[in-house]
Amino acid sequence: MGEKIRVLIVDDSALVRDILSVGLSRDPELEVVGTAADPFEAGEKIPNLRPDVMTLDVEMPRMNGLEFLRRLMPQYPLPVVMVSALTEKGKQLTLDALALGAVDFVAKPKADLARGMELLMADLTLKIKIAAGAKLLRYKQETRVENQTARETATLKKEAIINHAEPSSRVIIIGASTGGTEAVREIVTRFPERTPGIVVLQHMPGGFTRLFANRLDSETAMKVKEAEDGDQIINGRVLVAPGGKQVRLRKDSRTGYSVVLEEEKNPRIIAPSVDVTMFSAAEVVGKAAIGVVLTGMGADGADGLKAMRDAGARTLAQDEATSVVFGMPAEAYKRGGAERLVPIGDIAMSIMDLLR
């Protein structure tokens, strides 16, 4: 539209604020309208600066980014891109932030700072542009009140089911990017405990995918784990593709379907790639598969879903109204991969209908 995207940077480090300000200002489509050292300063500046997008540090003194989001979103809905530390606490807070309405996140580099900051700036610039056009959707957050005994009982029940589960004769492939963590959660938490095996491809760096899988596992009747090389696809289990790995499927006449993980050495290639896994599913699983493409920027999964449909699989994509970013589902539908577009709240039931 010719207008620059107005960006507010919130970070307790003066050095990081300067680096982000200089880096983002180099892009002709962005304008850094201000910086803030903490959420209190940011809260005072937002009404006057009227930013289109805010970058927010996850871990800050006085008030962390998560608590700021919790207070900000109800009063001043604003697209937010989190800047996450690669600590265990930082990763957990980042997933919490996505659940509270943050659009996406970037991870601060731990080593090779020069190269790492270059990649971070490229990633952050792109995600700010995506966030500026994203829908701010609020997913219902259910409060689960359980004691330790109840959680342990639920875990034991899942393990018992998995230990006696048979290889899955059907395979469900779900791919997502921006806005996908909550979209995947919306689907998987609605499945019964013995649903056929699922493989989830969520664009996310390594380390975050393990925590994402653990969080899903605590909220669903199915057993959820980060995939390991050779894991079987069995009834009642969800495998989350690890960040940085490509996932392909393999079939054995005795053990059924399993996953093969390969390290992606090119940092500019998406890993996990939805296309890579869906092309594999088309070849290996064919008409016994169901493919779903959810919210996200770009076209990853569009051609793979088309290959699955051509091989006889049933296919769906998330509709525009419930997508944070309609890029991936739109392309999947436009290229003939998705049979139909479905609201996120109806996708789980639609999958169950297709299984029946």
Which residue is catalytic, options 177, 280, 323, 350?
177
Residues contacting 167, CB < 8 A, separation 6+: 232, 233, 234, 235, 255, 256, 257
**CA pair distance 289, 285, nearest whole angstrom:** 6
Task: Give the percent of the chain with pLDDT over 90.
Answer: 72
Which residue is catalytic, options 300, 303, 323, 350?
300
Q: Is 104 a catalytic residue?
A: no
Q: What b/e sequence results for 200-230 when a residue is b if at least 16 CB atoms lie within 10 Å of its CB, and e otherwise?
A: bbbbbbebbbbbbbebbbeebbbbbbbbeee
- Beta bridge partner(s), residue 30: 5
> How high is the pLDDT of residue 114?
61
Q: Phi, psi at residue 79, to the nearest 5°?
A: -60, 125
- 312-323 per-position pLDDT tens digit: 999 999 999 999
Q: Phi, psi at residue 167, to the nearest 5°?
A: -55, 140
The residue with greater pLDDT, 302 or 143, is 302
Element (H, E) at 270: none
Contact at 8 Å (CB) between 197 and 316?
no
- 124-164 per-position pLDDT tens digit: 999 999 999 998 865 444 434 444 455 555 666 677 667 66
Our measurement of the distance from residue 35's CA atom to the centroid of its chain's CA atoms, rounded to an integer in Å, reads: 27
Which residue is catalytic, options 203, 275, 280, 303?
203
- 152-211 per-position pLDDT tens digit: 556 666 776 676 678 899 999 999 999 999 999 999 999 999 999 999 999 998 889 999
For residue 296, count other CB atoms closer than 10 A to its CB: 30
- 105-129 per-position pLDDT tens digit: 998 877 656 666 788 899 999 999 9
> How high is the pLDDT of residue 145?
40
Q: Is 13 a catalytic residue?
A: no
Residues contacting 160, CB < 8 A, separation 6+: none
Q: Is 300 a catalytic residue?
A: yes
- 263-272 per-position pLDDT tens digit: 998 877 899 9
Q: Which two tokens stand for residue 120?
A: 């971070």
- 40-75 per-position pLDDT tens digit: 999 999 999 999 999 999 888 888 888 898 888 888
Residue-wise DSSP of 156-169: HHHHHHHHTPPBPS
